[in-house]
Amino acid sequence: MTTAVTTAGPKIAPVPPEPPPAEPNYLNVSYSLWSWLTTVDHKRIGLLYLISISVFFVAGGVAAGVVRLNLLSPDGAFVNEDTYNRAFTGHGVLMLFFFLIPAVPGVLGNFLIPMMIGAKDLAFPKLNLASWYVFMVGAGFGVWALLAGGIDTGWTLYPPYSSRSSTSNVIPGVFGVFISGFSSIMTGLNIMVTVHKMRAPGMTWGRLPLFVWSLYATSLIQLLGTPVVAITTVLLMVERVAGIGIFDPMIGGDPVLFQHLFWFYSHPAVYIMILPGMGVISEVLTCFSRKNIFGYHAVAWSSMGIAVVGFLLWAHHMFVAGISFYSALLFSFLSMLVAVPSAIKVFNWTGTLYRGSITFQAPMLFGLGFVVLFVIGGLTGLFLATLGTDIHLHDTYFVVAHFHFVMVGGMVLGYMAGIHFWWPKMFGVMYSDWWSRVAAAIIIVGFFLTFVPQFVLGYHGMPRRYPNYPAEFQVYNVMSTAGASILGLGYLLPAFYLPLSLVFGKKAGANPWSATGLEWVSPSPPPLFNFDEANMPVVVCGPYEYALGVDQLGRGLPPGPGLGEANDPASKSEAPAAPGPMKKETEVVG
């Protein structure tokens, strides 16, 4: 295999020499636990988040396992109804508040934003550390609620059930959500200020990587949405503790007002979850198709479009809650409107792939999986935004399948793509190419098998959150549970090969994927302050100049992933890394 294949267009700049390994790098500068717990280094804080959210992902996954196993039989396979309620609430609260929301901003955002814009750290390093501690305190309350027996209200916590009737641990659970919200605000504020004020010379807004744009849009939602759910949870806790409050129908209060306030945050919150995943995908698809992004400004501004329009359509969760016909009409229209920027992204990603020199390493497999699953999840969202069909589908498994396609098929795959893409940068090692591809394949197959039957179930009228169902639904539920088992197996694989790579993995160079961003300029793992301090980066061009074959400093790119012997990420003798003759004869034109 020659290295002279057309990984990029004409070589207009020489490939820089491999930078010497950083001594010390951010990992080996100190080893004590105390140095980790008091670190203000954004990279280490990112890893603290990585560890903690992985734990919550497993816990939320176990709760999902309880739900799915119990649904094997129409009368509930092994837990009683009350336990079932607590299991699905635990699954929702853990996955949403303690995994999905902090996942990409907390781990990848913290780690990458300063590196991508050429800064030494985030603007407020201590605030960043505080955000992790606040998150852990909030999570502590959440864990307390779970260990004390769980919550049975569903993650949406609607009063008056949550404020009056429920005898479960609503207070610690809600307080945990309230506290962890501040962590989300701190991260968002930090990222926004950093992007505004800390960009390297030459890093104009039009040269920001799209990951930064999407995190910026995410941060805007975190900043403006989270406080609303914070005050809402305060009002709910006051009402539960005092026995009287502003959602109390006994004194003229309106429980639907809670729904309005709750969804004013919690609908934009789904964009907090999906936008960072979209940012990851823009990075991964360009790199592994060796092409400039198609429509940079459209993709960048569609992130902002989603963030802004996302604030205006919360009431589509309440079409059957008795809101007026005219406001339902308006919110239906606005819900359709948010599909436009989402579609812009998908079309531009497709345009990026078109005639690209595509290779199929694990990040790319996860990325392509994201695009497919997100399209299905997004389009089924339109069914629910349509007033007439929503009456039929509201609160059925159709809704469950829809948001799992977006949240799991979209966001979790985006997160996996990001972790696999930047793993060599974070730790300086390559994981097993073969096992990571297998994991991606298993996850995508398992995902389809889990959630496609749920569309059918929902369309035939099985309501969400019910522990029992008519016998004719059993076949779909068994299929779904079987799929969930495969999905769970797929998630277990990275839990083995990623940690193993830390010990056995091949050393990764500074730029193993031949990518263009500033984060690949530094050695892997990066030094304490990200860049050579005497020689801070000066950006000369856009973020995806794959056609020219230059990185953002205007230097040439090393051979592309899977195309050059030196950068072959396949370890040892496993599977030939090159994915076959992928249009190498095609000259890529930007």
Give residues 91-150 in contact with another protein (rule: CB under 8 A). 119-121, 123-125, 127
Residues near 16 by beta carbon (within 8 Å), at least 6 away in sequence: 555, 556
**Rounded to the nearest 5°, which phi and psi values hold at 540?**
-120, -10
- Interface with another protein, residue 289, by CB under 8 A: no
Size of the site for another protein (CB under 8 A): 44
The piece of 46-54, 220-228, 340-348, 384-392 that touches another protein (CB under 8 A) is 220-228
- Phi/psi at 261 (5° precision): -65, -40
584 belongs to the binding site for another protein (CB under 8 A):
no
Helix, strand or coil for residue 550? strand
Query: Residue 257, interface with another protein (CB under 8 A)?
Result: yes
Nearest approach in angstroms of CB 2 to another protein is: 43
Residue 275: how many CB atoms within 10 A of its CB? 31
Please give the full DSSP string across 529-542, using - where no structure is assigned.
TSS-TTS-----S-
* Binding of another protein by 252 (CB under 8 A): yes
Residues between 374 and 433 that touch another protein (CB under 8 A): none
- Min separation Cβ 304 and another protein, Å: 16
Is-contact 307 220, C-beta < 8 A? yes
CA distances from 35 to 18, 124, 525 (A): 30, 18, 18
**Residue 235 binds to another protein (criterion: CB under 8 A):** yes
In the set 24, 206, 243, 576, which binds another protein (CB under 8 A)?
Answer: 243
Report CA dihedral (62, 63, 65, 67) to the nearest 10 degrees. Answer: 170
Query: With CB under 8 A as the contact rule, which of the stretches 60-68, 103-111, 242-250, 345-353 interacts with another protein?
Result: 242-250
Taking a C-beta distance cutoff of 8 angstroms, is the pair 414, 369 a contact? no
Name the residue nearer to another protein (CB basis): 347 or 529. Answer: 529
Q: Which residue type is seen at 278? A: M
Rule CB under 8 A: which of 185-204 touch another protein? 185, 189-190, 192-194, 196-198
Handedness of CA 378, 263, 229, 174 (dihedral sign): negative
DSSP 8-state secondary structure symbol assigned to residue 556: B
Residue 507 phi/psi, 5-degree rounding, is -65, 135
For the segment 482-501, give every residue that binds another protein (CB under 8 A): none
CA 275 to chain centre: 7
Nearest to 232 by CA among 248, 220, 246: 246
User: Which one, 66 or 212, has the nearer CB to another protein?
Assistant: 212
Cβ closest to another protein, residue 238 vs residue 358: 238
Cα–Cα distance for residue pair 412/54, rounded to 1 Å: 12
Task: Spell out, one character per residue from 68 to 87, where the chain touches another protein: x when CB under 8 A holds, - when not.
Answer: --------------------
Place of tokens 């009431």: 315
Cβ atoms of 314 and 259 within 8 Å: the answer is no
Interaction of residue 234 with another protein, rule CB under 8 A: yes
Note whether 254 binds another protein by CB under 8 A. yes
* Residues 465, 466, 468: CA angle, nearest 5 degrees: 150
Q: Is 308 in the site for another protein (CB under 8 A)?
A: no
Q: Does 223 bind another protein (CB under 8 A)?
A: yes
- Cβ atoms of 132 and 229 within 8 Å: the answer is no
Q: How far is CA 572 from CA 503, 513, 575, 580, in A?
A: 14, 18, 9, 18
Write the binding mask 525 to 564 for another protein: x where contact by CB under 8 A, - elsewhere: ----x---x-------------------------------
Q: Which runs of consecutive H residues, i.e. helices, occur in 198-253?
A: 210-242
Smallest gap, in angstroms, from Cβ of residue 16 to another protein?
A: 24
The reply on whether position 225 binds another protein by CB under 8 A is yes
Is 245 among the residues that bind another protein (CB under 8 A)? yes
Segment contacting another protein by CB under 8 A, of 52-60, 93-101, 182-190, 503-511: 182-190
CB of residue 234 to another protein, shortest distance in Å: 7
Q: Tell me the C-alpha distance between 359 and 290, whole Å.
A: 9
Q: Which of 12, 37, 241, 242 binds another protein (CB under 8 A)?
A: 242
Nearest approach in angstroms of CB 192 to another protein is: 6
| Preceding amide of 19 cis, omega within 30 | no
Stretch that binds another protein, among 228-236, 317-325, 418-426, 433-441 (CB under 8 A): 228-236
253 binds another protein (CB under 8 A): yes
Residue 391 to residues 220, 266, 297, 397, Cα–Cα distance (Å): 32, 21, 37, 13
Using the rule CB under 8 A, is 205 a contact of another protein?
A: no
355 belongs to the binding site for another protein (CB under 8 A): no
Which residues are CB-neighbours of 52 under 8 A, at least 6 positions away? 132, 135, 136, 139
Q: How far is the CB of 283 from another protein (least distance, A)?
A: 24
Position 241 contacts another protein (CB under 8 A): no
120 vs 392, beta carbon nearer another protein? 120
Closest CB to another protein among 245 and 305? 245
> Which has the closest alpha carbon to 127: 221, 194, 217?
194
Nearer to another protein, 253 or 367 (CB): 253
Which stretches of the chain bind another protein, using CB under 8 A? 119-121, 123-125, 127, 185, 189-190, 192-194, 196-198, 223-228, 230-232, 234-235, 238, 242-246, 248, 250-254, 257, 261, 264, 529, 533
